[in-house]
Amino acid sequence: MTLRMLEGFIQRDEINAIHVGSDRYEALLRGEVAAATLMEPWISLAEKQGGRVIMESHYLSSDISGPELDQETWNAINRAVRKAVKRINDDKRKYMHYLIDQIPPHLGTLEPDDMNFHRLRYIDPQPYTETEFKESYDWMLSWGLAAPGARYEELVENRV
């Protein structure tokens, strides 16, 4: 996602993205990187501590599983996800502690009022369309992030 967002503003050969692992917020605080791709609650924590958002993107609810997952289990997972989506969207504040609890105390604290609720977009599971696959796959090929020859019919089984 970092590459896809940045290429909208600067030339590919000017992008210098590195992988710093799961502690990218701490790397940002230590000054090891100039910017970081973050998710909530880390974005709100950064803003509370004086950081600023340069650009945003949002999760589209495409979940995957291996072929060994049986249909009954997959259906149960999707029912649970739909139920959770409804509950969270009905009262986001009620569930913010699950995000906030991810932050180690030594990095700072957040309260529900510190969160930007507009960023929290929860939607029901959706099929992954052939058009979406082709667009993503072609883009990944252009960056050398995927091997040539992959086919939607071989890789995608929409069980939603």
Give the model confidence (pLDDT) of 119-160 as tens digits. 998 999 888 889 999 999 999 999 999 999 999 988 887 765
Q: In the chain, what percentage of residues exceed pLDDT 70?
A: 97
Residue-level length of the chain: 160
In this structure, the number of other CB atoms found within 10 A of the CB of residue 85 comes to 16
In which band, very low, low, confident or very high, does the pLDDT at 61 lie, cut at 50, 70 and 90?
Answer: low
pLDDT at 126: 85
Q: Are 130 and 152 in contact (CB under 8 A)?
A: yes
Query: Nearest 5°: CA angle at 124, between 98 and 55?
Result: 65
- Cα–Cα distance, 15 to 6 (Å, whole number): 7
118, two tokens: 């507009």
79, two tokens: 């029912």
pLDDT at 68: 86
**What is the average per-residue pLDDT within 25-33?**
93
**What is the average per-residue pLDDT within 45-58?**
92
pLDDT at 62: 67
Query: Nearest 5°: CA angle at 97, between 95 and 101?
Result: 140
In tens, the pLDDT along 84-105 reads: 999 999 999 999 999 999 999 9
pTM above 0.85, yes or no: no
**What is the average per-residue pLDDT within 53-70?**
80
**What is the average per-residue pLDDT within 100-124?**
93
Q: Are 7 and 57 in contact (CB under 8 A)?
A: no
